Amino acid sequence: MQATQAQLNMNFIGHEAVLGEGDSFQAFAPASHAYLSDEFTNVTVEQADQAVGKAVAAFAAYGKLHPGQRADFLDAIAAEIEALGDELIERAVLESGLPTGRITGERGRTTGQLRMFASLLREGSWVDARINPALPDRQPLPRPDLRRMLVPLGPVVVFGASNFPLAFSVAGGDTASALAAGCPVIVKAHPSHPGTSSLAGQAIIEAARKTGMPDGIFSLLHADNEVAQALVAHPDVKAVGFTGSRRGGLALLKVAQERPEPIPVYAEMSAVNPVVILPGGISDQAGTSVCEKVAAGLAASVTLGVGQFCTNPGLVFLLDSPLTESFLETVAEKIRASAPATMLNAGIHSAYKKGVQQIRVLPGVHVLAEAETEADDERTEGRSAVLTTTAPLFLSNTDLSQEIFGPSSLVVICQTEAELADCLQSLEGQLTATLFATPDELRQSSVDWVTLLQTKAGRVLFGGYPTGVEVCEAMTHGGPFPATSDSRTTSVGSGAILRFVRPVTYQSFPDALLPLALQNANPLGIWRNVDGNLTKESC
């Protein structure tokens, strides 16, 4: 499937491709530090309202579909994205500055998670069906027939992310999980990759047409902040998915909370993803250089993707030991050898340079190493850096615990376990927390490091690196505020579907009027909780 130039520049209000009636803008190619010739137009508040109206109409029809039909739709989206071929890859590379291999892998992740949710729908047990049949003869009072399951919330607005132009954007995890849940989706495209967004949006519309989905089940809008906030404030929108800055996420939260009917905003906003290294975690074992391997792995994690992962390890807490100097020497060596690379856009590039400069001039902060090659601003390049400080200085200055989005990390050298514990206690919520230690070391410590890290993060790693988020059933990509706005949820993995549903109990309903998942014969063949027992049998 090849997109025409007119389609590339279009918004989609339901199945209809339209030109926005708002301001126009151009895509930016960060590798050449130049604007592209394509001109995109933002929609107006009135056009956004049309998209919501179509989503409301589609919601009624979409909710009546068999789960298998929704699964077929998700599979079709994956196939249409793949059918775009090199056109999608090349456009995403051009607009993001990310290498072809990275974008190709991200396309695979995008289609993989769509198919994961399709499989989840076909298996069906995610609806958490619970049945307590009537007990008319129960004394002193009879029990009515009660049946409970999860149902979709309604139209959802999704904000595309800058750092994942495919997997966290138009057809990414938020869209896939909301569509799987039974919710129409309106995507506000990220202005850093509008052409990529339009191509992905076209693929979803094509899949919707081929599988007979109702008009309005999906819309793609290029929009400014005014329109974005109007979408969140719209009374018919029932939830929001967002990945981006803390400032942006908090602005949307404020709008959502000030509505007459507040709605959930599932916002992933900020994390520094601490790495805790105890002496045993870098001690040599069986003749292998563990210290060197851990240091090299850490440096690679810091610089991966020019540090533009939400799971980038921005803080390292190192309990001082005879191995400290050797560990830091290896980190420095790897950082100096790293090559500057193009960042996602001019704004991110500028913020990264400013962030590093602000902390490097603070008293007690030292530059351990920087990439030896100077970064080229004309290619929007970021230069990797690792800095060091002490625990007392870290605890005295909250600026040192703030996220710097890019290929840098701050190593905090702690003299005692108490200092290290105090540093960790001072942190805000995180997406990840990583621990390098030996099991004996943890058992003998006066601090319960695992429990401490668990209170701070949604994913706790042992002896690994946080960059890289597996899309699977057991993944949690979320954490206490401000990592996410709701620590009970995940934006990655099959559990992401639970953000866009709510429980409903049906009392004393005729069997024929019940949803299929709750009918006596169990026509979907799913696992259900019947009077406390999991079974696929009829009831």
- DSSP E strands: which ranges in 451-524? 457-462, 501-507
3-state secondary structure of 167: coil
pLDDT value at position 374? 96
Q: CA-CA distances (angstroms) from residue 152 to 62, 70, 145, 148, 183?
A: 10, 13, 23, 13, 6
Distance of alpha carbon 64 from alpha carbon 48, whole angstroms: 25
Amino acid at 164: F
pLDDT value at position 8? 72
Domains defined for the chain, CATH in brackets: 5-269+490-499 (3.40.605.10), 275-462 (3.40.309.10)
Q: Tell me which residues are annotated as active site.
A: 268, 310
For the segment 151-206, what is each residue's pLDDT rounded down to a tens digit?
Answer: 999 999 999 999 999 999 999 999 999 999 999 999 999 999 999 999 999 999 99
pLDDT value at position 7? 64
pLDDT value at position 288? 65
- DSSP string covering 48-113: HHHHHHHHHHHHHHHTTS-HHHHHHHHHHHHHHHHHTTHHHHHHHHHHH---HHHHHHHHHHHHHH
* Cβ atoms 323, 279 nearer than 8 A: yes
pLDDT-flagged residues of the chain (< 50)? 6, 286
User: pTM of the entire structure?
Assistant: 0.95
Contacts with 275 (C-beta within 8 Å, 6 or more apart), sequence order? 298, 313, 315, 316, 317, 433, 434, 436, 465, 466
pLDDT value at position 286? 47
* Cβ atoms 359, 365 nearer than 8 A: yes
